[in-house]
Amino acid sequence: MTGHLNVVGALMRRGLNEILRVPAGALPGVIAPTIFMLGLAAVFGKAATLESYEGVSFLAFILPVGMLQGAGFTGAATGVNLARDIERGWFDRMLLAPTPRPVLLAGFVASASLRALLPASFLLIVALALGVGWPGLLELLIAAVLVMGLAAVVACYATLVALRFRTQQAAPLMQIGSFIAVLFTTSYAPRELLAGWLGTIADVNPVTHVLEGVRQGFVGDVTWAQTWPALVSIVALVAVFGALAVRGMRRQGR
Amino acid sequence: MRRATVALARRALVNAFRRPQFLAPLVLFPSLFLAINVGGLGATRELDGFPAVDGFLDYQLAAAILQSLLIGGVTAGIAAALDIEEGFFDRLVASPTPRIAIVLGRVLAASVIAFLQVVYFLVLGFVFGASIKGGVVGVACVLAIGVVAGTGFGAIGVLIALRARNASTVQGIFPLVFVVLFISSAFFPLELLSAPADVIARYNPLSFIADGMRQPIAFSNEAWPVVQGLLAAAGIAAASIGLSLLALRGRLRRA
């Protein structure tokens, strides 16, 4: 068990080293959601004057979307990096190591979860500087858990795509999945303002619960009624995509 | 020169259609944004200062077209940079091909793709209930502005490729597409933008292009917005093609 944890730790360190040694590689995952958040707030900011937003600023409303987008970019980057390792043969060497494949996957996914805190923290600092109120420590803790959870889900999905296509050219496919999952929710507006078809999709999209779980601390008080669906959704998503990714890892080389 | 330009444009188009991973983002991302904007923010039509339109889709269609054309410019730049990276550009320079055709061929291909992009979004709009208030003349106006703007964005992509000489640098400008769009009136009326975006948007040529295409789609064939859109698009196209040719000359001089 300790050996497995050491492997997970080493793979996490490898992922974190990439941020320090190739910062240009991590920048898009931070800059893109920041541009989206600031741009959407500048363009659609007046939408928050509609009654359904209950007086919350559009920036505070959209900040959690940016955080989850950042998690999505980070998770997708895990898949792109894996595809690069496959192309260069490094992944084949990892498979030859006497390490169970779920442990390798856990290393990739844990690294993505930890790195997702980088864009989330940056977005939070930018939003606070622009006047969004301090949400409180418990609220931030819940947001961090959910952001890390979504990064893990997207990392598992991106791993599946990388294992299937075995090329970095599949990167858009990795990114588009999280893009759709995060935005086809109550991302731009409260549920009652969504068009019928988008409302229906948002109702069945489990990421809506995750988004509302992150958002609650920025637009009001944290409640158990909004927290538990978010936690159940993220655990279920991790279980489903994690199981599929483990299956994909086990099938490699057979 | 004309034959060489057409031949190089045809090659660029064949390459583009053989690599769907390059073409997919042109329609995929703007279509998704269009769906989310229309589905999520349709209620903003109730805001004071929002012009009377039949549907939010009518209003957003021009923004989606413009976004797609800008991404098309990035894609044209990536393709040109790949030609440089893979040595095709050097082989062309060594051949008796007129050098101006190297730029014009790529730009002509961008024009053809821009035409297809505009047609795609107009059809998408029709399918989901948008109506072109300006009728056939309105469609022609949208196509004209769109193709000229797409030509200009393609030339900007080629210009960056000639300067940067690698595809990853050109790819790196992708987020800028959203920055320049967000500081224009493409998505929302100028009067409803927050500061400082509203001030910048007043002078952003993309605002004129978006409003020029929006006018015949959502309102009427009033001439002045369409002319302004066409002039802004033509200005961008003329400047970017000229700068691309200068960049080509500078690059050949260094080679």
Contacts of B105 (CB under 8 A, 6+ apart): B4, B5, B6, B7, B8, B9, B11, B12
- d(C-alpha A153, C-alpha A157), whole Å: 6
Q: What is the average per-residue pLDDT within A224-231?
A: 94
Contact A183/B at CB under 8 A:
yes
Instruction: Name the residue with higher pLDDT: A56 or B170.
Output: A56
User: What is A117-179 written as a DSSP string?
Assistant: HHHHHHHHHHHHHTTPPP--HHHHHHHHHHHHHHHHHHHHHHHHHHHHH-SGGGHHHHHHHHH
User: What is the average pLDDT across A30-58?
Assistant: 90
Scanning chain B, the segments in alpha helix (DSSP H) are: 2-18, 20-41, 56-85, 88-94, 99-127, 135-164, 167-171, 174-182, 197-203, 205-214, 223-254
Decide if B193 and A183 are in contact by the 8 Å CB cutoff.
Answer: no
Q: Where are the domains of chain B?
A: 2-38+52-254
CA-based nearest distance A92→chain B, Å? 26
> CA-CA distances (angstroms) from residue B156 to B165, B177, B207, B242, B248?
14, 12, 18, 10, 12
Cα–Cα dist A134/B64, whole Å: 35
Question: Hunting for tokens 């500061």 — which residue is that?
Answer: B195
Percent of chain A with pLDDT over 90: 56
Specify the pLDDT at position A25.
66
Determine how many CB atoms are found less than 10 A away from the CB of residue A212.
Answer: 22
Q: Quick one: average pLDDT of A99-118? A: 89
> Which residues 6+ apart lie within 8 Å of A254 measured at CB?
none
The answer to which of A174-178, B19-23, B57-61, B221-225 has the lowest mean pLDDT is: B19-23
Question: What range does the domain containing A170 cover?
Answer: 2-250
Amino acid at A171: A
**Residue % of chain B over a pLDDT of 90:** 56
- A225-239, B4-18, B101-115, B206-220: lowest mean pLDDT where? B4-18
Mean pLDDT, chain B, as a whole number? Answer: 90
* CA R_g for chain B: 18
Cα separation, B193 vs A41, whole angstroms: 9
The closest of B88, B81, B101 to B162, measured between CA atoms, is B81
Nearest to A187 among B24, B38, B40 (CB): B40
Q: Is the peptide bond before A229 cis (omega within 30 degrees of 0)?
A: no
Quote the pLDDT of residue A90. 84
| ipTM value for the complex | 0.83
Lowest-confidence pick of A18-22, A121-125, B35-39 = A18-22
Q: Which of B36, B46, B197 sits opposite A43 (nearest CB)?
A: B197
Give the mutation candidate from A22, A46, A50, A184 for the B interface (greatest B CB count, under 10 A): A46
pLDDT band at A24 (very low <50, low <70, confident <90, very high): low
Q: What is the tens place of the pLDDT at every residue in B75-127?
A: 899 888 888 888 888 888 888 888 889 899 999 999 999 999 999 999 999 99
Lowest mean pLDDT among A231-245, B73-87, B158-172: B158-172
pLDDT above 80 for B234: yes
Query: What pLDDT, on a 0 to 100 scale, did the predictor assign at position B98?
Result: 85
Mean pLDDT computed over every residue of chain A: 90
Q: With contact defined as beta carbons under 8 Å apart, do B150 and B117 qualify? A: yes
Residue B15 pLDDT greater than 90, yes or no: no
Question: What one-letter code names the amino acid at B95?
Answer: S
Q: Do A35 and B43 touch (CB under 8 A)?
A: no
Q: Is the pLDDT of residue B255 over 70?
A: no
Name the interface residues of B facing A (CB cutoff 8 Å).
21, 24-25, 28-29, 32, 35-44, 46-47, 172, 175, 178-179, 181-183, 187-188, 192-194, 197
Average pLDDT over residues A73-95: 86
CA max distance for chain B: 61
Please tell me the least confidently modeled range out of A13-17, A37-41, A135-139, B122-126: A13-17
CA angle, A166 then A169 then A170, to 5°: 65
Confidence class of residue A208 from pLDDT cuts 50, 70 and 90? very high
Q: Average pLDDT for residues A86-95, to the nearest whole number?
A: 85
For residue B46, list chain A residues with Cβ-Cβ distance below 8 A.
50
Give the pLDDT band of residue B154 (cuts 50, 70, 90).
Answer: very high
Distance between CA atoms of residues B11 and B17, nearest Å: 10
- Report the number of distinct structural domains present in chain A: 1
**Coil vs helix vs strand at B87:** coil
- Model's pTM, two decimal places? 0.87
